[in-house]
Amino acid sequence: MHRLPEEEETPSPGGQQAATLTLRTLLDLDEVRLGHPELLSGGESLDAPVHWVHIADSERVEPLLEGGELVLSTATSFRASAVAVGSFLDELEAAGASGAIVELVDADGGPDLSAVEVLRQAASGRKLPVVVLTRTIKFVRVTQMAHRMLVGEQLTRLERARRVHEVFTQLSLEGASEQRIVDRTAELLGAAVVLEDVAHRVLAFNPADMESEELLRDWADRARHVGYREQTGRRDSGDWLQTPVGVRDRRWGRLVVPVGLQDDADGSQVLERAGQALTIARMAGRDEQDLLQQAQAGLMHDLRQPHALDEREAVARAQSLGLEPSAFYVPLVVRLDQPMEENPTGLHLRERALMEELTATVRQARHSLLAGGLHSGSFGVLLGVPARQLEDSILERVFGQLAELEEQRTGGQQRRGVGTPTWTVGVGRSSTSLLEAAAGLDGAIQVADIAATLETRPRRYYRFADVRLRGLMAALRSDARVRAFAEAELGPLLEEQDAEALDFLELYLRHGGNKSSVARTGYLSRPALYARITRLQDRLGVSLDDAESRAALHVALLWHRMRGQVEGETAFGPAGGGGKT
């Protein structure tokens, strides 16, 4: 007699042991063991689930089955015919039965050896599990025990489904955060769970029994190789179990279990309910955030209108929107860089995300603010601080953290270079009055606009004192008198659109007329340098050794550069130039 194969002990990386009824489970029943069971085929399929137990004594069984049944038979009417036995097994396979237990006992209660041999030959090479019994057992006891186990399994699954439903319903009612939902999901599954966005950035995770570093190592690269599904499940057997997060056609991420589970049906149930809870949480949070941002933007507009509010009303309304009464209020404006290829929608999304990050960072620092959009690509902020002496330290901390967050997301590859954020902050003068601080937003807008034109931005934020002459030129940029002055000073170079001459003049002025420094920086020999200076002086009609002439040219050139940046001209003068000096 062949010994039935033992079930392998496979450690589960996570999940709950399922109580699925299988043929292996039924073969362990005492009643079945009394029949001296021998496995004739299909040993690799013993763990297939059994959905029901059916008794049949006719070889025509296919019309009676739906799939997943274990068929018990004595084969009394057809055991002697190899053709009939083969047809019986063929129909079981065609119907998708999970297996067959055939009792072959003669009239004296002993093994029907000839029938056993017929069955052995018919079962040979089949994937269908076929078990022969050579002692009489009571099929009714087997069916009773199997059906009791099946009903118990269904009740267990129903209870599990009820419990999972209650857990995630409660989390939704409590307004639980994404991280809390992910943590609870990992607890229910006993496995690592990761929430990622569509760019494969990890928004929340729980490693369960894994090390966090191991779970998240090369996450984006690994996740890109696992395609998305619109329904809960796996794309392939070796893929991650996943469920989409977000409403249909507006998916913003997915929830995945990047490890194996013993029961995918249970795992899918938990994961799908978790995905729904995350979707609801994000929708509720977004609705609330949208309303808050609209309300703050409305108040910001009212604060900037003359005589629209008095101080007490302004403070009361601001406090209702999260700005606590403070000793001083600092007006500041955040202006986002806008690449030429970026569309308005992308700019708006970046603006909103940055505003939310700033709000969260300020709250972590135990301060409060009022923030609202001013125009596309910039938003104003009124920041409460406990003392004027603490302004700089608070601003450095807050915007330093924001810059670090951006650098972590981009890997240091910001648009303006490593370490330079893709936004500029202009700061106005703080005040004890909320209304006066709000009036200072206009100045902060000017500072942010000016600072955004700087070739390098080493500071986290800028005041008027930081932009100096450039700030004055920005304020007078549209003044016709300044324009006439600048064009008179640079006239010959502008008329000929000589960008190279303007570049050399800028280099000379930057070094304060120090010829050694100019030659070294410009990689020029002394004779070549003196020749270029002489030609430039002749064209301008002034001496570059004269300090007042250099100052006048510096102001004119600074105005010209700023006009070009605002009007979209080239950085080194109007397009089309290129004459020699």
DSSP category for residue 463: -
**Higher model confidence: residue 298 or residue 14?**
298
Q: Cβ neighbours of residue 37 under 8 Å, at least 6 residues apart?
A: 4, 27, 101, 131, 132, 133
pLDDT recorded at residue 564: 63
pLDDT recorded at residue 474: 65
pLDDT at 9 over 60: no
Mean pLDDT value of segment 469-492: 77
Cα dist from 335 to 370, 393, 421, 451, whole Å: 16, 21, 11, 10
DSSP category for residue 15: S
Both tokens of residue 245? 């997060």
Q: State residue 9 phi and psi, 5-degree precision.
A: -90, 110
Confidence tier at 379 by pLDDT (50, 70, 90): very high
Average pLDDT, the chain: 82
CA dist., res. 319 & res. 79, Å (int):
88
CATH topology of domain 174-284: Beta-Lactamase (3.30.450)
On the question of a common fold for 174-284 and 304-467, the answer reads no
pLDDT at 549 over 60: yes
Mean pLDDT value of segment 498-508: 85
pLDDT at 137 over 70: yes
pLDDT recorded at residue 471: 64
pLDDT in tens, 414-439: 554 445 788 999 999 999 999 999 99
Confidence tier at 524 by pLDDT (50, 70, 90): confident
The percent of residues in the chain predicted with pLDDT above 90, rounded, is 22
CB atoms inside a 10 Å sphere around CB 394 = 18
Burial 542-570 (b: 16+ CB within 10 A, else e): bebeeeebbebbbbbbbbbbbbbeeeeee
CA dist., res. 565 & res. 241, Å (int):
51
Both tokens of residue 423? 């936004």
pLDDT at 12 over 50: no
pLDDT at 497 over 60: yes
pLDDT recorded at residue 102: 92
Domain boundaries, the chain: 23-151, 174-284, 304-467, 480-567
Highest mean pLDDT, choosing among 207-221, 364-378, 489-503, 554-568: 364-378
Mean pLDDT value of segment 250-277: 87
Q: Cβ neighbours of residue 501 under 8 Å, at least 6 residues apart?
A: 493, 536, 539, 579, 580, 581
pLDDT recorded at residue 546: 86
CA dihedral (287, 289, 292, 294) in degrees, to 10, reads -70
Q: Cβ neighbours of residue 207 under 8 Å, at least 6 residues apart?
A: 186, 192, 214, 215
User: Do residues 26 and 70 touch, judged by C-beta distance below 8 A?
Assistant: yes
CA dist., res. 531 & res. 535, Å (int):
6
Confidence tier at 367 by pLDDT (50, 70, 90): very high
Q: State residue 379 phi and psi, 5-degree precision.
A: -145, 150
pLDDT recorded at residue 581: 38
**Higher model confidence: residue 578 or residue 336?**
336
pLDDT in tens, 77-133: 888 889 999 999 998 999 899 899 999 998 888 899 999 999 999 999 899 999 999
pLDDT at 61 over 50: yes
pLDDT in tens, 163-185: 888 998 888 888 888 889 999 99
pLDDT recorded at residue 411: 59
pLDDT recorded at residue 340: 77
pLDDT in tens, 434-443: 999 999 998 8
Class of domain 23-151: alpha beta
**Higher model confidence: residue 569 or residue 216?**
216
Both tokens of residue 266? 């249970």
pLDDT recorded at residue 393: 94
Both tokens of residue 370? 């009022």
Q: Which residue has the tokens 């008095």?
A: 310
The percent of residues in the chain predicted with pLDDT above 70, rounded, is 88
Confidence tier at 400 by pLDDT (50, 70, 90): very high
Instruction: Please give the CATH number for the structural domain made up of 304-467.
Output: 3.30.70.270
